[in-house]
Amino acid sequence: MRLLLALLALAAAPPRARAASHWCYQIQAKPSNYTCLEPDKWEGSCQNNRQSPVNIVTAKTQLDPNLGRFSFSGYDRKHQWTVQNNGHTVMVLLGDEASITGGGLSTRYQAKQLHLHWSRAMDRGSEHTFNGERFAMEMHIVHEKEKGPSGNQFAEDEIAVLAFMVEDGSKNVNFQPLVEALSDIPRPNMNTTMKGNVSLFDLLPKEERLRQYFRYLGSLTTPTCDEKVVWTVFQEPIQLHRDQILAFSQKLFYDHEQRVNMTDNVRPEQSLGQRQVFRSGAPGLLLSQPLPTLLASALACLTVGFLR
């Protein structure tokens, strides 16, 4: 009898009690007929004070000469990657064949997966912002730190994420195999394989344009928002055609019934607090000042040189 009463009590429990740990983006919370935790209620470490993403004010970044060039291993190998709709984003599973060193990192990091964040609006889809401005999308390549037998799994740099802004531009043929794969995985927990062979380098700006980037310590941008990420946010954006960008919002859905399009999967900006954002020491000038000001300064230097 007691068991029967317990089962009846469980069945009568409100939906919130059973789904309290299910997190979602703000756009899902409004139309859904089920309970989910929107961003300001996310659990785990999500309410702590070293969170991501942040707004990068380029004029307030600090030059770090130790942030030099990256060394990319396996980024040139072409694969027919497995692509997954995980209910929150589209994820490309990278296996264990690519890694990075250099770039001011303490050791080698193994690439595990890449995923994207996006919106239907061309200025609302990135998680990080530059001087308050968003981009159409943001791509994250997630790496895990290679550890020795006594490695610290709770280090603040256990994960290294390479973040790339995506802007509306010309058609990117290298991204097309991923865009075409979206039609095969509209619902959560669906997998497919890209039809074409693609390398990580195929998806990125030219390697010589990857010398200029920003660096700070932060967190995962999804629950449980663990504060163990060393972020590298590159200045050079990736270009996709508007139709390629919109395909992510049109082809993918958050729910199995395909009622809620997967779009605006973007965590709101978090406070930088007392953290410092650093910029790379590689050759080249990050545009932290308006272009006319930079040109005027350069002209002044040239004038002084001629007068000597």
Placement of tokens 């990080």 in the chain: 128
- Return d(Cα 120, Cα 275) in angstroms, integer: 31
Report the catalytic residues. 88
Cβ within 8 Å of residue 251, ≥6 positions away: 182, 183, 186
Other Cβ atoms less than 10 A from the Cβ of 115: the count is 18
What's 131's DSSP letter?
Answer: T
28: which 2 tokens? Answer: 């899902």
Bridge partners, residue 213, by sequence: 234
Helix (H) / strand (E) element for 26: namely: helix 26-29
- For 160, list phi and psi in degrees, rounded to 5: -115, 120
Beta strand ranges found along the chain (DSSP E)? 55-56, 62-64, 70-73, 82-85, 90-93, 99-102, 109-118, 129-130, 137-145, 159-168, 190-193, 213-218, 229-234, 238-240, 278-280
What residue spans of 121-237 are helical by DSSP H?
Answer: 176-181, 200-203
17: which 2 tokens? Answer: 């009690």
- For 156, list phi and psi in degrees, rounded to 5: -70, -10
Cβ within 8 Å of residue 227, ≥6 positions away: 45, 48, 50, 51, 156, 217, 218, 219
- Return d(Cα 81, Cα 114) in angstroms, integer: 11
